[in-house]
Structure 1
Amino acid sequence: MDGKKPYVMAVVIQVIYTGLYVVSKAAFDQGMNTFVFIFYRQAAATLLLLPLAIILERRNAPPMSLRLFTKLFMYALLGNTISMNVYNISLKYTSATVGSATSNSVPVVTFFLAVLLRLEVIRLRTLSGMAKAAGVALCLGGVLVIALYAGPAISPLNHHRAFTNEAASRGGGGGGRTRWVKGTFLMLLSNTAWSLWIVLQASLLKEYPNKLLATLLQCALSTLQSLLLAAAVVRADAAAWRLRLDAGLLAVAYTGFVVTGVSFYLQAWCIEKKGPVFLAMSNPLCFVLTIFCSSFFLGEIVHLGSILGGILLVAGLYSVLWGKSKEHNMQLTLAAAATVQVKQQQDDSADNKMDIAADEDEKQQKLASPEQQV
């Protein structure tokens, strides 16, 4: 049973993220302001993480300098405030299916940014290098297909949906093709900002190694940033800030506590047990689940273009992951060969020393033999 636990947890994670796309889309379709939503989501996440940090890490807090605080502020602005707000606007323009499909581009975009920052290398003359380059191209192709090609519509599975709103049934966020195209590219922009944040976290955690406190501080800073941004956009509209017993309140509670609290822990556990590639390999399951759930609960009309684009994005994801896996295995093989070679050289050196010592003993015996004969 222990061997199956990572697979079960991976499925649970994808189910949680399916709920994220569906519930968030339902909240926006029912009129919840996207900027206010992010403020409440980040505030809920901060309230969840704060007691955990106090209980578990109050004695392990690394020293905080002005330079480090500024870096945390900028990373929170990029990876939380900007990325999430742009993503929610794009989700309002498109559909839950598109949100789930484009999430498969995150590992590919992260790899591409790592190449630009010279943290990764593409060797086009190798099979793994060609696979990684093909993955980037497939990812871009998938985004273009989703944005520019609608195709035939697939009728919703359930016409009596749980979250009723006419915008959802149009499959384009209720704003026509221009809004759909804009939303798709905004979603890619959001994923790019998130991917850049992922790349930058590696250097941040070397400087500030406490993961829980780093996450808490970025959530708290993002809450303040989101509050100021929402206040600037919404201004005096008090109704936009009011939470009701509807999909908006459900979305805030779900994203703040379940996504941030439960899924983040499960992801860390899966990565520790099986590595990041294993978790990324399960992402397409969320895409399939979201197609069915958005159609059933939201009544979304899924277009063929969204499915084809999602398939290209999944293919791009697997191509990059396969190339990285192939390259990693090659590095392990070379390292093992180098270790064997070093060991062989050490053994040869030890044998040579033993031979030299034996020769010296033999010479000593020959020199000593005439005296013994006398």
Structure 2
Amino acid sequence: MGAWLRNAKPYLLLLAVQFGSAVMFIFAMDAINKGMSHYVFIVYRNAIAAVTLAPFAFFLERKVRPKMTPRVFSEIMALAFFELEHMKIKEVACQAKLIGTAITFGGTLLMALYKGPVVSVVRSSINHATQPQNVDDPTGNRWIIGTCFLLIGCAGFSSFYILQAITLRKYPAEMSLATWVCFIGALQSFVVAFFAERHHSHAWSLGWDTRLFAPAYAGIVTSGVQYYIQGKVIKTMGPVIVTAFNPLRMIIVTALACIILSEQLFLGSIIGAIVVVSGLYLVVWGKSKEYKARNEMPPSPTKENSLQHQQQLPVTAPRNEISDNKTQLVFHAEEQCYNCGPN
């Protein structure tokens, strides 16, 4: 049981991260519907995360935190792409990861682009029969634009995971890195929000409802804890497995929106969810096989031979012989001086 829990710990943490992010979307949707600006929401979210993580990062990682160099600082603010996954196409584990990733991506597009008939799962107090059901109306077509923005966001998050993996190699302090990311994100989003809401000063006001709870929850849980957990998992398993779990967020959001917000559930969402879970299973299976094979891999014979060869080389023998000869010469000279001295 202990070994199983230890092996399943990264996957359980990623599942918890996706569930926490899905809950954040529900709170954020309610806060925005109450008039909160989404620009201001991002500013408060990053600022709260930075303030919350900073004390823990300062005290808990002060002995392991390396120096913040200009190069590492620039990598936090920029994007970089390097080879982080070793792809061996002939291996079954690698083939499973590639096929699973393609299936997961297809399921995500299916959930976003295909609706189909409405499936009545939870009885809602809202009468949807009085609402327009035509998906082709101008208002309904906005979900296509939203899908395009979601795809751009997925590409941005994938780049962020790759950059996070690269930065953790040179700056192996997950909590401190998460603090820096949230702090810089707060500064960048503040500049955008300042110009976007410069004529609406009331957009920065908060209330004792989800307009306060949503950014606080998003900052502490989604930005703070999530970045830290993702950094821990990325250091051990790489960024691919973290990215593969992201489509689960859409499934959880759909389920919560159907239950809590009484939104309609379409057949396309159910089919897409099944496809996403199937693809994710292939990715997790391939990654677990690859991780297990890497841990069970014996040391390389070339490395063992080189180590044995280095141990067998007479590196110190000549020095010992020279020092012994010098010692014998000194003793011999002293003995001659003693014999030649006055009797």
TM-score strictly above 0.5: yes
Unaligned runs of 5+ in 2: 309-343
The residue aligned with 1:93 is: none
Counterpart residue type for residue 221 of structure 2:
V
Q: Distance in 2 between matches of 1:11 and 1:171?
A: 35
Report which stretch shifted further, 288-297 or 31-40: 288-297
User: 1:248 deviation in Å?
Assistant: 2.1
Task: Return the letter of the residue paired with 1:322.
Answer: W
What is the alpha-carbon root mean square deviation over aligned residues? 4.1
Question: Residue 84 of structure 2 contacts residue 238 of structure 2 at CA under 8 Å; is this kept in 1?
Answer: no
Compared CA separation, residues 241 and 29, structure 1 to 2 (3 A): same
Secondary structure of 1:176's counterpart equals coil
Q: For the structure 1 residues 215 and 170, does the alpha-carbon distance in structure 2 shift closer, same or farther, using more than 3 Å as the test?
A: farther
Does the CA contact (< 8 Å) of 1:281 and 1:318 recur in 2?
no
CA distance in 2, matches of 1:256, 1:68: 24
Amino acid at match of 1:41: R
Q: Alpha-carbon deviation of 1:48?
A: 0.3
Contact 2:162 2:239 in 1 (8 A): no
Aligned counterparts of 2:292 and 2:238: Cα–Cα separation in 1? 14
Corresponding residue pairs, total: 298
Please tell me whether the aligned partners of residues 42 and 219 of structure 1 are also in contact (alpha carbons under 8 angstroms): yes
The answer (yes or no) to whether the contact 2:87–2:94 under 8 Å persists in 1 is yes
CA contact (8 A) 2:18 2:246 kept: yes
Are the aligned partners of 2:50 and 2:224 in contact in 1 as well (CA < 8 Å)? no
| Residue in structure 2 matched with residue 100 of structure 1 by the alignment | none
Identity score, percent = 33
CA–CA separation in structure 2 for the residues paired with 1:71 and 1:266: 20
Contact 1:48 1:261 in 2 (8 A): yes
Displacement of 1:29 in angstroms is 3.0
Aligned to 1:300: 263
Q: Is the 8 A contact 2:97 2:284 kept in 1?
A: yes
Bigger shift: 323-332 or 182-191? 323-332
Alignment-derived partner of residue 130 in structure 1: 95
Tell me, yes or no, if structure 1 residue 323 matches structure 2 residue 286.
yes
Q: Which of 312, 324, 342 is the matching residue for 2:275? A: 312
Q: Which amino acid aligns with 2:113?
A: L
After TM superposition, list the pairs within 5 Å mapping 1:228-307 onto structure 2.
228-262=191-225, 289-307=252-270
What's the CA shift for 1:329?
Answer: 4.0
**Superposition map of 1:40-59 within 5 A:** 40-58=44-62
Partner of 2:146: 183
Distance 1:158 1:188, change over 3 A: same
AA of the residue aligned to 2:93: S
SS in 2 for 1:226: helix
Instruction: For 1:268 and 1:118, locate their aligned partners in 2 and report how far apart those are by CA, in whole Å.
Output: 18
Counterpart amino acid of residue 94 in structure 2: G
After TM superposition, the structure 1 stretch with the greater mean CA deviation from structure 2, 215-224 or 254-263, is: 254-263
Deviation at 1:58, TM superposition (A): 4.9
Relative to structure 1, is the Cα distance of residues 188 and 284 closer, same or farther in structure 2, using a 3 angstrom cutoff?
closer
- Greater C-alpha Rg: 2
Whether the 8 Å contact between 2:85 and 2:238 is mirrored in structure 1 is no
228-237 or 37-46, which deviates more: 228-237
Alpha-carbon distance, 1:30 to partner = 3.0
How far apart, in 1, do the equivalents of 2:293 and 2:58 lie?
44
Structure with higher helix content: 1
22, 28, 34: which one pairs with 1:18? Answer: 22
Q: 2 CA distance for matches of 1:337 and 1:63?
A: 33
After superposition, what is the alpha-carbon deviation per residue over 1:103-147, rounded to whole angstroms, capped at 9, x for unaligned?
A: xxxxxxxxxxx8xx4433444444333322322321332233223
Structure 1, gaps ≥5 residues long: 79-113, 162-167, 347-374
Q: How does 1:69-218 map to 2 (within 5 A)?
A: 69-74=73-78, 117-155=82-120, 157=122, 159-160=124-125, 176-218=139-181
